Amino acid sequence: MGGKKFEDEDELIGEVRDWFSNLDANFFIQGIYSLLPRTGNIFSIYFGGTLVIVLSGYDVLKEALVKQGDIFVDRPLQGLSGVVQVKNGIIGSSGSVWKENRTSVFQIFKNFGLGKDVISQKILEEVEFYLAYLKDLKGSVAYIQDITTCATANVTCNVVLGKRFHYDDSDALCLIQSISEYMTLVGGGRMHTWFSFVKYLPGDLFQSKRLMTLQEEILVKMRCFIENVKDEERKGLGSSNLILSSIEKLEEKQKTGQPTELSMYHLERIVFDLILGGSETTSTTLLWFYLYMVHFPDIQDKFYNEIIREIGTDRTPAGQDKVRLTYVNAVILETQRLATISPFSILHRCSKETTIAGYTIPKDVQVLTHLDAVMLDDEIWGDARQFRPERFLKEGKLFYPEQFVAFGLGKRSCPGESLAKMELFLFTVSLIQRFKIVPSDPNNLPIRDYVRGATCCPVPFTVKFVQRTDA
């Protein structure tokens, strides 16, 4: 096929070597950014023998992930990382396995009323526990990163396992820490993503052995969850949850002789993927929201005033309120846009040679989609680095530009999007209805910078949640 070829860029090699020698995933992001002015919206890098194409810019991403969606839908042949080689479940799988696992999860979510009342009720149950915890702090200076991750993980657990965990449950806390560490190590452009041989090196400089141990530990835990759910069901104590629904689906298919890829092997990974995908993403977004509210108290006041106007203080917010709270929705969108917690999304693969923006993309090449570059593109947003919720309002109505790509684009876009949006709405509105978020030290606001972990999380900070007098 014709089209432009990528040129060897010797000077880039030096820079790429620098990122790796720093062994810090932040350098990976900054490194890619530093190349953009010279390379434009599409360029290639060799990581060892692996060719990786980086796609930036909305038109380029849309061309690949939407218009040529079938070609870019798969994950790399090696799975998520050369070291752990995940190819089952949803996040790391491809082809018919991925399709059936993802469709099955969507159907179950839909049956649970995702985006409707049932799911809102599950979220609101958790919100009450979370706000009770904040109330107990009595306005003192608090570090709330861990507790916020527990709260959002509990929402996912409620849907997937049919149960939540106490905030001081040491087993649950340990699992959340393991999942967070796993996400940090499996993502983020580390050495073992492309150089699987590092697992054979003595010691564990690149943390590949740690990653393999974590994966095994978490999978053991997932198997226990599945056995517990089956046990409760046998005792007649089962509540509706994704595990039970998946087992029913599998048994039904086996009974009626329908061909299926579903299996217990995939189910344990699906549970893993949903808890992994649904915990730190939503909590990190909430942390950015708290940080922005401390930096922009006028915006927090406007957010609160809309709640008072539309809901008042006599009742708790409900899922149905979401469509009326225009300014609130704009602030949440702006939080997601500016924070862009998943700047490089998850690796894709080009399964057939094709052309994007005039460039030939070879078959089986790995593809990094640079969401950050779209969300922070001045040509799209004008003043992209400013926190300005009004950009999502037009003539008093919510305006949702297609360039808002926080959940990815195309067939692989986030299956938890509706759940996450409802969580963000109910957590932020319920919290601001009852508390004012104020800085721990008004003369020393927390810095607005990120650390790259599982997601791009704000640098750890403390705040005070001061209960409103009319709450």
Binding site for ligand HEM (CB under 6 A): 90-91, 102, 156, 273-274, 277-278, 281-282, 285, 341-342, 345-346, 369, 406-408, 412-416, 419-420
Least distance from ligand HEM to the Cβ atom of residue 124, Å? 16
Least distance from ligand HEM to the Cβ atom of residue 67, Å? 15
Q: Has 414 been labeled as part of a binding site?
A: yes
Least distance from ligand HEM to the Cβ atom of residue 235, Å? 27
Residues forming a β-bridge with 249:
none
Cβ atoms of residues 435 and 429 within 8 Å:
no
Give 44-49 contacts, CB < 8 A, sequence gap 24+.
44/6, 44/365, 45/12, 45/16, 47/16, 47/193, 47/194, 47/195, 48/194, 48/195
Least distance from ligand HEM to the Cβ atom of residue 342, Å? 4
Residue with CB nearest ligand HEM?
Answer: 416
- Report the distance separating Cα 317 and Cα 312, nearest Å: 9
Least distance from ligand HEM to the Cβ atom of residue 395, Å? 27
Helical (H) or strand (E) element with 463:
strand 463-467
Least distance from ligand HEM to the Cβ atom of residue 183, Å? 11
Q: Which of 154, 162, 129, 133 is nearest to 231 (CA)?
A: 162
Q: Which is nearer to ligand HEM, 104 or 342 (CB)?
A: 342
- Report the distance separating Cα 169 and Cα 129, nearest Å: 14
DSSP 320-369: GGGGT-HHHHHHHHHHHHHH-S-TT-S-EE--S-EEETTEEE-TT-EEEE
Q: Which is nearer to ligand HEM, 42 or 420 (CB)?
A: 420
Instruction: Find the helix packing angle between 242-255 and 145-160, rounded to 10°.
Output: 30
Q: Which is nearer to ligand HEM, 39 or 285 (CB)?
A: 285
Q: Which is nearer to ligand HEM, 210 or 411 (CB)?
A: 411
Q: Which is nearer to ligand HEM, 83 or 108 (CB)?
A: 108
Q: Which is nearer to ligand HEM, 12 or 86 (CB)?
A: 86
Q: Which is nearer to ligand HEM, 175 or 346 (CB)?
A: 346
For 144-163, b/e burial (b = at least 16 CB within 10 A) is: bbebbbbbbbbbbbbbbbbe
Least distance from ligand HEM to the Cβ atom of residue 141, Å? 26
Look up tokens 């899922």; give the residue. Answer: 319
Q: Which of 424, 425, 422 is nearest to 114 (CA)?
A: 422
Structure tokens given for 49 = 């023998």
Could you list the residues known to form a binding site, using ranges: 414
Could you list the residues known to form a binding site for heme, using ranges: 414
